[in-house]
Amino acid sequence: MTEAAQPSLPAPPRIRVAVDTPQHSGLSGPLDYLSPQALPPGSLVRVPLGRREMLGIVWPGEPSGDTDPALLRPILSSLDGLPPLSPAWCQLVEFAANYYQRSVGEVALSVLPPQLRELDGPKLKLRMKRAAKLGAQNSGSGETPAPGLPTLSPAQAEVLAQLDALLAAPRERTAPPPVLLYGVTGSGKTEVYLRAAEHALKQGRQVLVLVPEINLTPQLEARFAERFAGRRLVSLHSGLTPAQRLRHWLSAHLGEADLVLGTRLAVFASMPRLGLIVVDEEHDPSYKQQDGARYSARDLAVYRAHLEKLPVILGSATPSLESWQRANEGRYKRLALPGRIGGGTLPQVRLFDMKLLPLSKGVTTALTAPLIQALRTRLERKEQSLIFLNRRGYAPVLHCGECNWKSDCPHCSAWRVFHKGDRTLRCHHCGFTERVPSACPTCGNQDIAPLGRGTERLEEQLAETFPEARVARIDADSTKHKGELEAQLQAVHAGEVDILVGTQMITKGHDFRGITLVAAINPDGALFSSDFRAPERLFALLMQAGGRAGRDASQAARSEMWVQTWHPEHALYKALAKHDFEAFAQSQLAERESAGLPPYAHLALLRAEGRTVAAAQGFLDAASAYAQQLPEAMGVLIYPAIPMSVARVANVERMQMLIEAGSRGALQRLLWHWMPELHALKREHKGLLRWAVDVDPLAI
């Protein structure tokens, strides 16, 4: 609304404010309020909403003007003193909200530190002072000292020369292309991040580094802190206390922190001097948020870099096929580190054919005789081994041989896992836990036995087989308490562990120096999954796992990766044996192209949860019928609703419906016209509990 449109009366001072309105209220955009003073967009304000008082953000753009001025309510206060969030930040949030089909206010408020909601102006000022002081304590001269920097390998030097050209280029007009740093495990990608960061810091810019999981932050933080001793570094992840999170966020927002290191939520960190974004292990599924706004932090990092005309580095030894394909098309710039630091080789992959074993029932298939021999050799040489089994607990199910009872969960379509340590049966979906029964609950048979094996059982078997060895286990159960994971990793690094057993927690990122044998125990499950991304994930996981072996060049030549499989002839394993990511990617991409799957098609999943299957299905069927008559549905495939792979969780039935379009735009246009109607539709479906849309879903 321009001034000219309102001739005589002075326009009431309206502003637009993004508030966290509930999704089902149907209020999806920012709301109009009256403000006694002009407030720049990005300012934080407190506003009334219904009977509540809420934090809001003055949003860029013209107020809607819909509401009758007499009904408009004034804002309650503004948190002045805090510099406004930048227009670019608001744009990033608005893009994310639109793209992932959530309200702007919900996304904006959910990515701010929760404590901001509780503080008034004076209290906030106090916190800001403290955050600034924290910065001052940590900072030295601000100049980067050079503590004996390693000499770059020729490949690193070559990559950095190309990166420097991108980093130095003027950014006024166009954004540099995203860089895909494709470097095998142990090739020194982190050193490249460090040098690129140094470059940006020297230009007076801030650097944002994203890592997939909290448990990878401490070691990366240590490396950055050591390198940039004079700089202010903060972390942002869900493991911080609310007070820490606010302090770190403020430090970034005020431009005091030079480096921000964090998990996916850090992609939304407000950083006024941002000059470089790094996304480490860019292929990792953890970058995708699994509830609320189901955003991909990797994809948003690329968008943010484009928006702010910044360089972004996506690093991986096994890039996502999406990124790989974009590099093939020339939209991303691919820079490669093809060899390991120090010239060490990648571990030799041995595919052990389980069919060669004499067929006998029992637990020995995990520790086959040749694997035991390989482990023994390592013990004798005082080298470390790592055994990877992606299943925690003692056994995935308990079984009665008499009546065939199995330890199913009464609330989920899943087995309850047997945990021997605390003698419980635990459902990994709903958390339902009971003590292990001493006899079969249906027939009273005393002889109930575990079926299959998890990390706990493997640890026990290893300890029995090698009584002299120091065996350790790292998984979600062994690291529940604060500090446990750090202590356990430290023990591995210090050489106090001979055999390490664990889930995928131990396969990623860690720079273990003494491991010469990595074994994967029957990882075949993913080969036959109905999820088309399962092979991609498995390949990445095994490459990562293998990458933990032979990281010390002096031991690399005798390091091995052992895969125990029933399908050694499978193309995936053949490519793995040659460390040939490129061949694997090419064949997967060819398959995806002929099947019309991402990155050649664009998907969304509509999910519904109901008290009954009929309720969930009824809603999805009605949603589908509604969509089919929209003109935007032309050329978009809407599949029939099917149960999710674990259909019932905590007594809730879960269904999903796949939507497939040839282009991102076509998918977005349909969702844009379709999703707002579903709020009304939900009210007509009584047994429906929730629905949600997942754009670019990772797990199908």
Token couple for 368: 């086959």
Instruction: Choose among Zn ion, ligand ATP, none what residue 679 binds, the Cβ cut-off being 5 to 8 Å by kind.
Output: none
Query: Does the annotation flag 90 for ligand binding?
Result: no
Single out the residue of 130, 134, 137, 129 nearest to residue 230, CA to CA.
137
Give me the helices (H) in 578-663, please.
581-595, 613-628
Binding segment for ligand ATP (CB under 6 A), chosen from 172-180, 181-189, 196-204, 601-609, is: 181-189
Is residue 271 a contact partner of residue 307, using CB atoms and an 8 Å limit?
no
Question: 191 touches which of Zn ion, ligand ATP, none (CB within 5 to 8 A by kind)?
Answer: ligand ATP
Nearest-approach distance from CB 649 to ligand ATP, in angstroms: 34
In the bound state with Zn ion, the residue whose beta carbon lies nearer, of 666 and 689, is 689
Enumerate residues 46-85 that contact ligand ATP by CB under 6 A.
Answer: none
d(CA 74, CA 15): 10
β-bridge partners, 261: 209, 235
Minimum distance, C-beta of residue 282 to ligand ATP, in the bound complex (Å): 11
Examine residue 430 and tell whether it contacts Zn ion (CB under 5 A): yes
Residues that contact ligand ATP, how many (by CB under 6 A): 18
Distance CA 545, CA 523 (A): 12
By CB under 6 A, the residues from 191 to 250 that bind ligand ATP are 191
Q: How far is the CB of 550 from ligand ATP (least distance, A)?
A: 11
Looking at residues 530 to 589 of the shown chain, list those that interact with ligand ATP (rule: CB under 6 A). 547
Q: Whose Cβ is closer to ligand ATP: residue 219's or residue 413's? A: 219
Partner residues linked to 562 by β-bridges: 350, 519
Q: Rule CB under 6 A: is residue 509 a binding residue for ligand ATP? A: yes
Q: How far is the CB of 352 from ligand ATP (least distance, A)?
A: 23
Q: Alpha carbon of 482 to those of 19, 240, 297, 444: distances in Å? A: 34, 11, 26, 40
427 is in an annotated binding site: yes
Query: Between 430 and 526, whose beta carbon lies closer to Zn ion?
Result: 430
SS3 40: coil
Identity of the residue, 135 or 186, whose beta carbon is nearer to ligand ATP in the bound complex = 186
Shortest CB 521 distance to Zn ion, Å: 25
Can you tell me whether residue 400 is helix, strand or coil? strand
Q: Which of 43, 190, 251, 555 binds ligand ATP (CB under 6 A)?
A: 190
Instruction: Please tell me whether residue 156 binds ligand ATP under the rule CB under 6 A.
Output: yes
User: Which pair of structure tokens corresponds to residue 78?
Assistant: 């503004």
Per-residue binding letters, 376-415, with Zn ion (x by CB under 5 A): ---------------------------------x-xx---
Point out which span in 134-142, 188-196, 293-301, 604-612 binds ligand ATP (CB under 6 A). 188-196
d(CA 249, CA 271): 9
Joined tokens for residue 276: 């470089």
CB 548 within 8 A of CB 184: no
Cα pseudo-dihedral 107, 113, 115, 121, rounded to 10: -90
* The length of the chain, given as a count of residues: 700
Whether residue 529 contacts residue 489, with contact meaning beta carbons closer than 8 Å, is answered with: no
Contacting residue, 187, 235, 289, 522, with ligand ATP by CB under 6 A: 187
In the complex with ligand ATP, the residue whose CB is nearer, 191 or 299, is 191
Cβ nearer to ligand ATP, comparing 113 with 550? 550
299 makes contact with ligand ATP (CB under 6 A) = no
Interaction between residue 273 and Zn ion (CB under 5 A):
no
Q: Contact between 96 and Zn ion (CB under 5 A)? A: no
- Minimum Å gap between C-beta 412 and Zn ion is 3
Nearer to ligand ATP, 316 or 390 (CB): 316
d(CA 603, CA 696): 5
30 upstream amide cis, omega within 30 of 0: no
In DSSP terms, 605 is beta-bridged to 658, 694
Report DSSP state, residue 231.
S
> What are the C-alpha distances in Å from 92 to residues 32, 268, 333, 695?
21, 8, 23, 17
Count the Cβ atoms, other than its own, within 10 Å of residue 627.
22
- For residues 30 and 104, is the Cβ–Cβ distance under 8 A? yes
Task: Report the nearest approach of Zn ion to the CB of residue 410 (Å).
Answer: 7
Query: Is residue 440 annotated as involved in ligand binding?
Result: yes
CB 280 within 8 A of CB 211: yes
Interface residues toward ligand ATP, by CB under 6 A: 150-153, 156, 183, 185-191, 317, 341, 509, 511, 547
Interface residues toward Zn ion, by CB under 5 A: 409, 411-412, 427, 429-430, 432
Annotated binding-site positions for Zn(2+):
400, 403, 409, 412, 427, 430, 440, 443
